[in-house]
Structure 1
Amino acid sequence: MHVDARIQQSVVANLSARPLPVRCGPFVVGLDPAIEHPGINYATPVPGAPISGADVTALVAAFRSYGRKPRLEYVVSSAPGLEELLLAAGFAVEERHEYLVCTPGSLAVPPAPDGYELREPATDADRAALVTAQHAAFGADTIAAEADVARVRRLQGNGGVAVMVVAPDGTCAGGGQAVPPHDGVSEVAGIAVRKPHRRRGVAGAMTAEITRRLFAGGGELAWLEASGEDSWRVYERVGYRPAGRRLYIALD
């Protein structure tokens, strides 16, 4: 199976494991009733399924019925013509990303920076610290809610990976995770480092450690997206290589 199809099928599986998965024609909508963020609640097409304008209309209605913003993320090649249908229905492109992939043979694991510890969160207090650090790194001055903690706990319980970075002063400097693998494929996401701890090799070490743990558990292919040139270089240094394109698109 082509890597694009494998990545897209892994997204379908990930959304199908949400607390409230909804199948809507050729789409799977992954919903979490406890979290309203559109980055958690979105849809993706089933690879190769034919899609019509009527299917898009039904998808929008499904999102509205659950009080969520209609939004999709998908590998572009998995649904030719879908973008045109969505634009005709009033959707607007949020972002276009090139995704990168890593295999056990390409992974390079650097040592953790001096004084920093990389470990899996073992308690709910750890999980809250991880998510709070992610929020801070992404510019949100909010602490983790119980729903956030439950999401990380569920991810770990289902075979995913979460890693937190403990700074020399004992605080959580950042964190990230990988979703439970599907057919050997998993997305690495949420890589975040608080500003005072950046440019020390923390992000690269954390990304590599998450990926290493994923492969140690039987994963075959890890993928992620870079938010800019700096993160792109970080991921390439630990063995990730560009492989395909994804689209983020939503209806206000």
Structure 2
Amino acid sequence: MDVRIQQSVVANLSNRPAPVEVGPFVIGMDPTTASPHINYATPHPGAVITAADVTALVAAFRAADRKPRLEYVISCAPGLEALLVAAGFIVEARHTYLVCVPGALTTPPTLDHLKLYEPGTDAERAALIGAQNEAFGGDPVASSADVARLRRQQEAGGVIVMAITDDGTCAGGGGAAPPTGAVSEVAGIAVRGPYRRRGLAGAITAEITRRLFTTGTEITWLEASSEDSWRIYERVGYRPTGERLYIGLG
């Protein structure tokens, strides 16, 4: 399972607008943003990695004026962390990822006064991004680059779901990367403050996952940012499976 998840990360980064291959690594470059949460690297699973490879990776990031940063499944590159730390990288976090497969998904009850559907216009995409940004403590105004990025994700086969109230307000939403190798990452599950504690996060997660399974996806995975979200994901069928590392260089 770890290898399939890591392969999906490699594929996702390779589908960025300007990916860069550096030896055993791929950097998912996106010229429209400097965010280190979008522009990061990951190793090909099972690749032999040396200190010289890490040096070349850092140089590639510097040449692109981006922060050197990686996210990867730890078991797929067991000696990499030591090489990165020796090069000055600092561990940001270790997260357990959770997996759901067809047959394990549990669909929660339908929510009153809330509709789940996929945005079809840029105005709807902007409303969803604004709700996500607000939920995560960011700028509630979506940039045109953010909207274009979400549109490209949909056009490439990704799944996006937003929750709309009876009066047309976007209460939250989330999405999933285009499946590769029948694997897709679910991410960005967000609910605005006034709509929390109603089961909406679980409903959004389940709907995204359901849509993926109906198109032939075999494995969906995600990460939980807190104990509350962990419980939400477990209630709809996700189970802890492996460990991922987040590590960066200042």
TM class by shorter chain equals over 0.9
1:123-176 per-residue CA deviation (whole Å, 9 max, x = no partner) reads 000111111111000001241111111111111111110001112331111110
Task: Give the one of 184, 189, 198 matched to 1:186.
Answer: 184
Q: 63, 66, 72: which is aligned to 1:65?
A: 63
Aligned equivalents of 1:121 and 1:171: distance in 2?
A: 13
Secondary structure of residue in 1 paired with 2:45: coil
Give, in angstroms, the shift of residue 232 of structure 1.
0.3
- Distance in 2, matches of 1:65 and 1:186, equals 30
Partner of 1:39: 37
Decide which of 115, 118, 124 is 1:117's aligned counterpart.
Answer: 115
Which runs of at least 4 in structure 1 moved beyond 3 Å after TM superposition? none
Specify the alignment match of 2:130 in structure 1.
132
Residue 217 (structure 1) aligned with residue 218 (structure 2): no
Q: Tell me, in whole angstroms, the C-alpha distance in 2 between the residues paired with 1:167 and 1:25.
A: 48
Distance, in Å, in 2 between the alignment partners of 1:199 and 1:168 is 18
Match of 1:16 among 10, 14, 22: 14
Letter in 2 for 1:22: V
Quote how far apart the aligned CAs of 1:217 are: 1.2
Q: More displaced, 162-171 or 197-206?
A: 162-171
CA-to-partner distance for each residue in 1:84-130, whole Å, 9 max, x for gaps?
00000100011110000001110011133210010000000011111
Return the alpha-carbon distance in structure 2 between the equivalents of residues 200 and 158 of structure 1: 32
TM-score normalized by structure 1? 0.98
Deviations 1:201-235 (A, max 9, x none): 00000000000001111111000000010000000
Cα root mean square deviation, aligned: 0.7
Q: Which runs of 5+ in 1 are unaligned?
A: none
Cα contact 2:10–2:44 (8 A) shared by 1: yes
Q: Are the equivalent residues in 1 in contact too, given 2:131–2:140 (CA < 8 A)?
A: no
Q: Which residue of 2 aligns with 1:100?
A: 98
| Aligned-partner Cα distance in 2 for 1:167–1:98 | 33
Q: Which amino acid aligns with 2:87?
A: A
- SS of the aligned residue for 1:20 comes to coil
Deviation of the 1:71 alpha carbon: 0.4
Q: Deviations over 1:178-207 (max 9, x none)?
A: 000111000000001111111100000000
Identity %: 69
* Equivalent AA in structure 2 for residue 67 of structure 1: D
Separation in 2 of the partners of 1:169 and 1:100? Answer: 34
**For residue 197 of structure 1, what is the aligned residue in structure 2?**
195
Partner of 1:80: 78
The two structures have a TM-score, normalised by structure 2, of 0.99
> Unpaired segments of 5 or more residues in structure 2?
none
* Contact 1:73/1:249 (8 A) holds in 2: yes
Native 8 Å contact 1:112 1:118 kept in 2? no
Report SS of the residue matched to 1:62.
helix
